Amino acid sequence: MDMGRERLSLGLLLRLSILLTAVCVCIHVYLETGWQGFQTPPGRPPQSKQNSGQQSRRGQASAESEEQSIKRRISYVHMLKKDRVSRKRDEDREDREDPSPALRPHRKTPRWHIDLQPWAGESRSLEDEAKRFLSYITTPQVFCASSPGEEEAVQGGSTSDWTVCLDPQYSLSHRIQSKHCRVYSFGLGVDDRSLERSLSRSGCEVHCFDPSLKQPHLQQTEMWLHRLSVDWRDPNPAVVAQRQYASTKKLATILNDFGHREVDVLKADMESAEWKILENLVLEGVLDSVGQLLLEIHLHWAGFEVGGDDPSVVRYWFSLLKELEHANFQLFHVHSDPNKPHLFLHKNVFNASSAYTLSWVNTQWKPSRNQN
């Protein structure tokens, strides 16, 4: 009996000890888990060492990727700079070489107005403006010598009202010898074409423009004749459609239509339209395509579409001629017809003729060898 009780008490103690041990283990596990949860920042699950290593590798890879991206951007910027430098070098080379098939006038940005010169005097009087203007147009700026025998051949008449510069320091004499000379002559019902015929016989390609011709184009033995004239504006497209042809066009348009880039001699007698035509040549940069300019100016009135009082008109005339000088044109020949009336803006003053023939040479003009 006593032996049975003793066995029961030992078994009970063994069970209690096992139970107590299990409880202690559970408490220990609970406390360990709670302490780790307390050390982890709120909102971020606990990470194992493996996860930490993975994040470290990802951060390193991200840094390397960012570094490579920066290097690519820097390389791209360098490439753009090199490309700009190379493109600019190519453009400069093209400008130095023979011009592109496009016309020279179109290489410049068109201007909207000419630069007016300062007034001749504080009083802004017609007398001051007229004296300055008349002194300017009657004073040649360069001496133009001609080779023996050539002067008479291209003089264009005994009165020498139209003449060209054959000085060897300029290009025309060389162009005539090489048969690369081109002449444009504009006039209204012109009867005297002696200068054009002389230049044609010398070997120049001569185009005469006259809107009064009956045929659109006519080839004579010595030159071409065209039913066309130069203007300071192109015709309205509706008018062209009705008439099927335009009798007047801007010089830049005529050059484009004929496929020409350069004109060695441009002669024009436009009966008081010369001022607005000259203004158009200046504003559109067409003068770069002209070697010599022979122009008859008319002073008896302001001219077509030229407005303002008399002093302002003369100041405008003078400013236009100064634009020629800025474009490297120098006056080499002046002629006034003694048979013309002495009228200056409807006044018989200043002993000025109503018309002057002026001739300029482009001292910096360098035509291409094989012109179109």
| Rounded mean pLDDT, 149-170 | 68
pTM surpassing 0.85? no
Q: pLDDT (tens digit, 9 = 90+) per residue, 171-191?
A: 999 999 999 999 999 987 666
What the block records as the tokens of 64 is: 């390397």
Residues with Cβ within 8 Å of 80's Cβ and at least 6 positions away in sequence, in order, are none
Instruction: Give the least confident one: 108-112, 140-144, 196-200, 285-289.
Output: 108-112
Question: Contact 356/133 with Cβ under 8 angstroms?
Answer: no
The pLDDT value recorded for residue 90 is: 52
The token duo for 1 is 């009996």
Q: Which amino acid is at 258?
A: F
Rounded to whole angstroms, how far apart are CA atoms 241 and 40? 89
Using alpha carbons, select from 110, 95, 108 the residue that is nearest to residue 288. 108
Whether the predicted pLDDT of 195 surpasses 90: yes
pLDDT for res 246: 61
Distance of CA 72 to the CA centre of its chain: 37
Predicted confidence band of residue 4 (pLDDT cuts 50, 70, 90): low
Lowest mean pLDDT among 17-31, 44-58, 152-166, 291-305: 44-58
Q: At 214, is the pLDDT very low, low, confident or very high (cuts 50, 70, 90)?
A: confident
pLDDT averaged over every residue in the chain = 79
At 91, list the tokens: 């453009």
Which top CATH class is 126-145+160-362? alpha beta
pLDDT score at 48: 44
Nearest-angstrom CA–CA distance, 338 and 49:
113
pLDDT grade, residue 260 (50/70/90)?
A: very high
3-state helix, strand, coil in the chain (%, to 5): 45, 15, 40
Residues 283, 108: Cα–Cα separation, whole Å: 9
Enumerate the domain spans of the chain. Answer: 126-145+160-362
Confidence of residue 42 (pLDDT cuts 50, 70, 90): very low
pLDDT band at 340 (very low <50, low <70, confident <90, very high): confident
| pLDDT band for position 235 (cuts 50, 70, 90) | confident
pLDDT of 100 over the 50 cut: no
Asked if pLDDT for residue 34 goes beyond 80, the answer is no
User: Residue 26 to residues 19, 33, 39, 202, 288: CA-CA distances in angstroms?
Assistant: 11, 11, 21, 124, 103
The per-residue pLDDT for 213 is 86
pLDDT the model gives residue 25? 73
Q: Which residue has the higher pLDDT, 185 or 94?
A: 185
Q: Could you tell me which residue, 96 or 276, shows the higher pLDDT? A: 276
pLDDT of 104 strictly over 90: no
- Dihedral Cα 123, 127, 129, 135, nearest 10 deg: -140
Quote the CA–CA distance of 154 and 152 in Å, as a whole number.
Answer: 6
Predicted confidence band at 105 (pLDDT cuts at 50, 70, 90)?
very low
The DSSP code sequence of 146-201 is: --TTHHHHTS-STT--S-----TTSSHHHHHHTT--EEEEEESS----HHHHHHHH
Q: Give the Cα separation of 367 and 64 in Å (integer).
A: 60
* pLDDT for 243: 57
pLDDT for 181 equals 95
pLDDT tens sequence across 263-314: 999 999 998 999 999 999 999 999 999 999 999 999 999 999 999 999 999 9
